[in-house]
């Protein structure tokens, strides 16, 4: 096959750029691939999705995603602080707006070493088909697992400019903590499904009930193993009703704590 000179130059430049990542991205993620056997869980960074002028998903009855995520996150931190040895921190503790970058900067502080910390971003889902319900967990991936995940990631990333090229580099560099990310996502999802009797979210097109992947901004840039949990669908009447109840929120918190402890036991 013959390539013209400009096309050749373009291909060479692209290959060169892929082999030599931009320095700022290397610096941002220099710890991301160095977790390995030394991982020992101490810090749980909880990220209540949305807040302030960003309500997240809204129901017709006026329920806001930002209120559910904050309330569940507070309960989770309370149980972790009261009943476990882990130290829990919230990216936001009240109804304030925080950009996705601010959340990432909070998680990447030196006080949360990537080999002693996990990042849990909590959200609620929504879909035009109101029958869809269930919970799902996500890890970072360049491509969304299915149509619903693709729509979701577009909504959750809406506040921040997303550079696909940066994400490609990050995808290579996140492999060092992939094992832990996958493990924590799977265990927390199983714990929620077992303890709450909810379903894994399913679409006819996708029979895979495992951990899903999508290019979420907060998962891309956090150095520690990080996952995003969609606790249920606000577009489903039954699930929305449950998620707004204090008692059910406490059950979510306790299921997550059980899962975190199980993840930790499996590390030893
Ligand atoms: Zn959300």
Report yes or no on 7 lying in a domain. Answer: no
Contact assessment for residue 46 and residue 76, using Cβ atoms and an 8 Å cutoff: yes
Compute, in angstroms, the gap from residue 156 CA to the centroid of ligand 1: 5
Instruction: Report the domain count for the chain.
Output: 1
Domain that holds residue 150: 43-267
Report yes or no on 38 lying in a domain. Answer: no
pLDDT digits (tens, 9 = 90+) for 74-131: 999 999 999 999 999 999 999 999 999 999 999 999 999 999 999 999 999 998 888 8
Report yes or no on 175 lying in a domain. Answer: yes
Alpha helices in the chain (DSSP H): 5-19, 23-28, 65-83, 100-107, 147-156, 164-173, 178-196, 217-221, 237-244, 246-267
Q: Taking ligand 1, which is a single-atom ion, which protein residues have CB atoms under 5 Å away? A: 49, 56, 123, 156
Compute, in angstroms, the gap from residue 136 CA to the centroid of ligand 1: 12
Report yes or no on 166 lying in a domain. Answer: yes
- Across residues 204-231, what is the average pLDDT? 81
Contact assessment for residue 222 and residue 108, using Cβ atoms and an 8 Å cutoff: yes
Report yes or no on 188 lying in a domain. Answer: yes
Report yes or no on 263 lying in a domain. Answer: yes
Average of per-residue pLDDT values in the chain: 84
Compute, in angstroms, the gap from residue 71 CA to the centroid of ligand 1: 14
Domain of 99: which CATH number? 3.40.630.40
Compute, in angstroms, the gap from residue 52 CA to the centroid of ligand 1: 13
Compute, in angstroms, the gap from residue 250 CA to the centroid of ligand 1: 19
Compute, in angstroms, the gap from residue 47 CA to the centroid of ligand 1: 11
Identify which of 213, 212, 215 has the alpha carbon closest to the alpha carbon of residue 165.
215
Compute, in angstroms, the gap from residue 2 CA to the centroid of ligand 1: 48
pLDDT digits (tens, 9 = 90+) for 11-53: 444 544 444 444 444 444 444 444 555 899 999 999 999 999 9
CA dist 108 and 13 (Å) reads 31
Report yes or no on 251 lying in a domain. Answer: yes
Which pair of structure tokens corresponds to residue 150?
A: 């693709």
Contact assessment for residue 37 and residue 212, using Cβ atoms and an 8 Å cutoff: no
| pLDDT level of residue 142 (50, 70, 90 thresholds) | confident
Q: How many CB atoms lie within 10 A of CB 127?
A: 18
Compute, in angstroms, the gap from residue 180 CA to the centroid of ligand 1: 23
Report yes or no on 25 lying in a domain. Answer: no
Compute, in angstroms, the gap from residue 87 CA to the centroid of ligand 1: 24
Compute, in angstroms, the gap from residue 37 CA to the centroid of ligand 1: 33
């Amino acid at each position: 096959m013959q390539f013209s000179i400009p096309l050749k130059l373009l291909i060479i430049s692209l290959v060169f750029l892929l082999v030599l990542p931009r320095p700022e991205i290397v610096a941002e993620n220099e710890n991301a691939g160095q977790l390995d056997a030394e991982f020992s869980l101490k810090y749980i960074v909880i990220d209540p999705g949305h807040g302030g002028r960003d309500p997240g998903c809204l129901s017709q009855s006026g329920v806001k995603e930002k209120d559910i995520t904050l309330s569940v996150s507070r309960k989770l931190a309370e149980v972790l602080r009261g009943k476990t040895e882990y130290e829990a921190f919230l990216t936001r503790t009240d109804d304030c707006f925080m950009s996705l970058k601010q959340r990432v900067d909070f998680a990447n502080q030196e006080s949360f070493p990537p080999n002693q910390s996990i990042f849990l971003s909590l959200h609620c889902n929504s879909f035009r088909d109101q029958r869809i319900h269930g919970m799902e967990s996500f890890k970072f991936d360049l491509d969304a697992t299915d149509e619903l995940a693709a729509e979701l990631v577009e909504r959750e990333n809406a506040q921040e400019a997303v550079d696909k090229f940066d994400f490609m580099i990050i995808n290579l560099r996140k492999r060092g903590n992939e094992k832990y990310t996958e493990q924590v996502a799977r265990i927390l999802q199983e714990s929620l499904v077992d303890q709450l009797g909810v379903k894994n979210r399913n679409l006819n097109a996708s029979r895979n009930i495992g951990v899903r992947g999508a290019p979420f901004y907060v998962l891309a840039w956090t150095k520690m193993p990080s996952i995003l949990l969609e606790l249920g669908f606000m577009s489903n009447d039954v699930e929305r009703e449950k998620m707004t109840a204090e008692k059910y929120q406490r059950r979510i918190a306790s299921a997550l704590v059980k899962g975190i402890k199980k993840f930790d036991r499996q590390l030893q």
